[in-house]
Structure 1
Amino acid sequence: MNRIDRLQAILTQLQTKKVVKAQEIADRFEISLRTVYRDIRALEEGGIPIGAEAGVGYFLDDNYTLPPIMFTTEEASAILMAGKIIPHLSDKNVDHAFQDALYKIKSVMKAEDKELLEKLDHSVKVFTGISEIPQRDSIYLHDIQQALVNKRVLKIAYFAKYNQILSTRDVEPIGLLYYALNWHLIAYCKLRQAYRDFRLDRIRELEISNETYNKKLDKAFDEYLEREKEQHQYFEIEIKISEPLSLEIQESKYWYGFLNEEKKGSKITMKFLNPDLNGFAKWILTMSAKVEIVFPIGLNTILLEMIQNICEKYQKS
């Protein structure tokens, strides 16, 4: 990216937040802080009223307005691609809001770009393999976001699958996580006096209360994630397999914590990071005797026990 384009992009970035840190700009464009300072001075010399708060960041004067931003075809295409995935990662309310935003983006594009996007729209599909599961009208994504922004306590009716009990909770939300194909609310539960993970599709009712709470959300969320990492042990795993087998598992390996691979002679050495040795051993069993376990040794023991149990079962029958 040349400097003129970068200056324009920095100006656009300054419009996205109340205050933008110099480090955020440096990270985005992979430049030094010294270069950021020079670019900000160049924008100021060009007549852009940029304010600075020591130790915090840069901001645009409230009275300064810019003409509407024009999207490039590449940027609009990327947003369209995201729109194809949104319905599978959210609920109908969020999907409708995103589609409305996409219409606004299309409305400011040139005619030839609109035609290109229309062609692309019909040529891109997302197949998840679980299309028979209907999309819910709401899993409260919008309400939870509002509660996070305003630091409001949520009153929820939550169905716990492990004991099949529906309970009511007052919780202080600190973040949203998406993993294992579901959205999760991370919040401080007043009933349990501890942080808890609530799956959104198990929330039966949700109400934003007038009660507020005082927490630094970014700090509380980061601390929660760090604690989770410490509490859940992950095992480093290394295996050797043949090249033909490595091609067979090109898709499935990512479900088991694949890190990297290296070809050594006729074998492929693969490394994984996985929290469940038993689950990993079951996967290896599907590859019969084509896998050599380098470490951990305990994985061999688990496999041997599984094989012995299978042999005993079928010998009896």
Structure 2
Amino acid sequence: MNRIDRLSAILIQLQGKKIVKAAEIAERFNISLRTVYRDVRALQEAGVPVGAEAGTGYYLVEGYHLPPVMFSREEAAALLTGEKLMANLSDHSNRKEFSNAMQKIKAVLRGSEKDFLESLEDNIAVVSRRPPVGEEFPNRFLSDIQHSLGKQLILQLDYFALHNETHTKRDVEPIGIIFMNGYWHLIAWCRLRHGYRDFRMDRIKNVGVSADNYDKQRHITLKEYMDRYGEYETQAHMVKIRFPKTHARRIGDQKYYYGLVEEQLINDECIEMTFLAPCLDWFGRWLLIWGSIPEIVTPVALTEKMQELALEIKAHYL
């Protein structure tokens, strides 16, 4: 990147945040701190009102705005891809807001870029395997949760816990959101349970944003939570189960709630399903519903767990 393009990009970066550290600029453009200082000084000499706070970073003086930004063809294509992803992987609230933002972005594109996007529109698709969400769980709270995170406001949740099929009301202090295994998760300090909890957003029945603030300094960061509690991929068990085709159809949407990631037709009579199961005991108790019909391909630990559960049931009824 030549210096003129870099200066323009630094100016856009400064407009995007309240304070930008010199180290952030250096890392983004792979330049030294000395070069950052020279570039900022060049912007100041060109009349751009860049202020500096010792030990904090740089900022643009309040009221200064760039003229409309022009996008390259590659940037426009990346934004279109983002719109497709948002349409399938976000919730109703964010989907609408992103669509509105894209309309504004398209309005400032040059004619050639607009033509390019129109030709590309029908050639990008994102397919989601998530089951449809019932009316009880409207899946439209992501914007409210983002607002709560930005303003440090307490959230009031009406939440359905799948493991024990109970509805509870929770007052929570959000620390972040994660998109994982096809679902959005709210990570928050739960005042009811007095601990950090993972709330899957498609199980939230209703959300209220309180006027009361919480002190985010009292909590760990989202990264610290993920490092401490969130070893999701390493903790999950890869499970492969084979069902006769006639019974596979009866499972319906249940398979999604138990972590289905893939279905494969083995032959005319058999389907193999692959799951990521966070807990073999929980998964095994669901598998008991189907009696001797399913065949466990892997892991051996699940077969042993099913033997334990079968003996547990036998002992109970004896």
Question: TM-score, with normalisation over the residues of structure 1?
Answer: 0.71
2:113 equivalent in structure 1: 113
Equivalences for residues 204-243 of structure 1 within 5 A: 204-216=205-217, 219-228=220-229
Structure 1 residues 277 and 89, CA, compared in 2 at 3 Å: closer, same or farther?
A: closer
Instruction: Give the Cα separation in 2 of the matches to 1:231 and 1:180.
Output: 9
Find the counterpart in structure 2 of residue 197 from structure 1. Answer: 198
Look up the match of 2:20. 20
Moved more, 215-224 or 71-80: 215-224
- The one-letter code sitting in structure 2 at the alignment partner of 1:45 is E
Comparing 87-96 with 170-179, which one deviates more in the overlay? Answer: 87-96
Cα–Cα, structure 1 residues 132 and 231, in superposed 2: closer, same or farther, change >3 Å? Answer: closer
**In 2, Cα distance between equivalents of 1:133 and 1:182:** 12
**Does the Cα contact within 8 Å between 1:153 and 1:208 map onto a contact in 2?**
yes
Correspondence 1:166 to 2:202 = no
> 1:232 and 1:102 mapped to 2: Cα distance?
33
State how far apart, in whole Å, the 1-side matches of 2:12 and 2:157 are. 39
- 1:158 & 1:26 partners in 2: Cα distance? 44
Q: Distance in 2 between matches of 1:215 and 1:133?
A: 32
Where do 5+ consecutive residues of structure 2 fail to align? 237-260, 262-275, 281-295, 308-318
Letter in 1 for 2:171: D
Taking the aligned partners of 2:233 and 2:93, their CA distance within structure 1 comes to: 34
Q: Which AA in structure 1 matches 2:95? A: D
The within-5 A match list for 1:72-87 is 72-87=72-87
Residue of structure 1 in register with 2:183 after alignment: 182
Question: Which secondary structure does the structure 2 equivalent of 1:177 belong to?
Answer: strand
Alpha-carbon distance, 1:225 to partner? 2.0
Q: Runs of 4 or more off by more than 6 Å in structure 1?
A: 131-136, 230-235, 274-278
Identity rate, percent: 45
Distance 1:194-1:218 versus aligned 2 partners, 3 A rule = closer
Q: Secondary structure at the match of 1:31?
A: coil
Q: Structure 2: which amino acid aligns with 1:67?
A: P
How has the CA–CA distance of structure 1 residues 172 and 229 changed in structure 2, closer, same or farther, with 3 Å as cutoff?
A: closer
Q: Shift in Å at residue 234 of structure 1?
A: 6.3
Aligned residues: CA RMSD = 3.3
Counterpart of 2:157 in 1: which secondary structure?
Answer: strand
Distance 1:232 1:6, change over 3 A: closer
2:20 alignment partner, SS class: coil
Which structure 2 residues correspond to residues 1-317 of structure 1 after superposition, within 5 A?
A: 1-130=1-130, 138-216=139-217, 219-228=220-229
Q: Once the 2 structures are TM-superposed, how far is the Cα of residue 138 of structure 1 from its aligned partner?
A: 3.1
SS state at 1:102 partner: helix
Residues matched between the structures, number = 253
Q: Distance in 1 between matches of 2:277 and 2:48?
A: 52
How far the C-alpha of 1:60 sits from its partner, in A, is 0.9
- Please report how far the alpha carbon of residue 114 of structure 1 lies from its aligned counterpart in structure 2 after TM superposition: 0.9
CA gap of 1:202–1:128, structure 2 versus 1, over 3 A, is: closer
